[in-house]
Amino acid sequence: MTSVSEEYGFYHICSDGNALPWLFKDDEDFIAGINRIGICKHVTGVEIISFILMDNHLHKLLYGTMAMCKEYINKYKTLTGKWNSRKYGNRKSLKELPVTIIPVRTEEYLLETIAYIDRNSIVAGYCHLPSEYPWGSARYMFREKPDKHKRWKPLGDLSARELREVLRTRIRLPEDWNIDSNGMINPQHFTEIHKVSAIFKSPVRYLYFLSKKLEGKIDIDAAQGNRTFISDKGLRPIVIRMSENMFQTSDIKSLNVNNRLILARKLRHEYASTTKQISRMVFLDPEILKGFV
């Protein structure tokens, strides 16, 4: 329910690597993490430009509105928290995991951001080239031929029960998406690899930006980035959708105070909205919200 007047653009999403000792422990976690990228992209409608999953944090470059990107990362955190709870018995929710969303305004910064994301595996010492790292989109850049060593199977060939067992979701994904023998969806189905190649124009230009030391510049932007802001215009359709899903009405003013307080708490926990902004969204005096959000 995104307003056509909302501004579409590129947004760099990164989580705080110091907040948790780990997000992904083993290959099974990483494979499930890759699959969640496709699931959340399918649900929210954002475009996945590039991504990388590290053991204790993640980076993604999305194209969409700020509201869509917020919805995407909140959905991703929720599903990741459920996975970790089932597998490790970790009951702690990831809703409050600090995440920064940085608008990418210029072409130069767009090129630098993609290169920065792809450089993460090199800087961390996991590989010599980004294309060697299995849990990022860089390995699919400027590839002329598909990976012949992989055996892919269309999701349409799996029963609903098999899909739930492998992907841990009831969300119906496109039947022509392929999955490998390890249960990982082919990232080329949900990542705009050709768009990234067109942005760089040539492998030589891509390698030039990869060779630049960008960590200082973009790390500072991430540290100073906007963790909380989403405009009233972007948040309003989200609140209406919440109300429709939870209370079967889009008329927030018609809700009783208790139900509006429930919405207020979700806005605080899932979108880090300020008390004043929440008061505008749920039509309650800020004084009433004190102690509840």
Give tens-digit pLDDT for 178-205. Answer: 999 999 999 999 999 999 999 999 999 9
224 pLDDT above the threshold of 60: no
- Rounded Cα distance, 291 and 97, in Å: 22
pLDDT category at 1 given cuts 50, 70, 90 is very low
Give me the number of domains the chain comprises: 2
142/268 same-domain check: no
133 within a domain of the structure (yes/no): yes
Specify whether 204 is located in the same domain as 280.
Answer: no
Last residue of a domain, one of 180, 196, 223: 223
Residue 1 covered by a domain? no
- In one letter, which amino acid is 83? W
**End-of-domain residue from the set 198, 223, 248:** 223
Is the pLDDT higher at 184 or at 18?
184
Whether the pLDDT of residue 282 is over 50: the answer is yes
Ordered alpha helix ranges (H), the chain: 27-44, 66-88, 107-123, 160-167, 193-200, 203-210, 215-223, 232-247, 257-271, 275-282, 286-289
Query: Is the pLDDT reported for residue 227 higher than 80?
Result: no
- Whether pTM > 0.85 for this model: the answer is no
| Domain end marker among 223, 241, 258 | 223
Question: Domain of 152: which CATH number?
Answer: 3.30.70.1290
Q: Are residues 263 and 202 in the same domain?
A: no
Mapping DSSP to helix (H, G, I), strand (E, B) and coil, where does residue 113 land? helix
pLDDT digit string, tens, across residues 122-143? 988 999 999 999 999 999 998 7
> Do 154 and 254 have their domain in common?
no
The per-residue pLDDT for 228 is 45
pLDDT at 4 (0 to 100): 40
**CA 108 – CA 118 distance, rounded (Å):** 16
Average pLDDT over residues 30-57: 97
Residues 250 and 210 in one domain: no
Residue with structure tokens 């590989």? 127
Q: What is the pLDDT of residue 29?
A: 97
Q: What is the average per-residue pLDDT within 237-256?
A: 92
Question: Do 40 and 63 belong to one domain?
Answer: yes
Confidence of residue 5 (pLDDT cuts 50, 70, 90): very low
The domain of 76 spans 8-223
Domain co-membership, 199 together with 138: yes
Q: What average pLDDT score do residues 41-45 get?
A: 96
Q: Quick check: 183 and 166 in contact, CB under 8 A?
A: yes
Measured from the Cβ of residue 92, the count of other Cβ atoms closer than 10 Å reads: 11
Q: Is the pLDDT of residue 147 over 70?
A: no
- In this structure, the answer to whether residues 192 and 252 fall within a common structural domain is no
Same domain assignment for residues 41 and 105: yes
Asked whether residue 59 falls in the same domain as residue 180, the answer is yes
Whether 19 is in a domain gets the answer yes
Whether 247 is covered by a domain: the verdict is yes
For the chain, the average pLDDT equals: 87
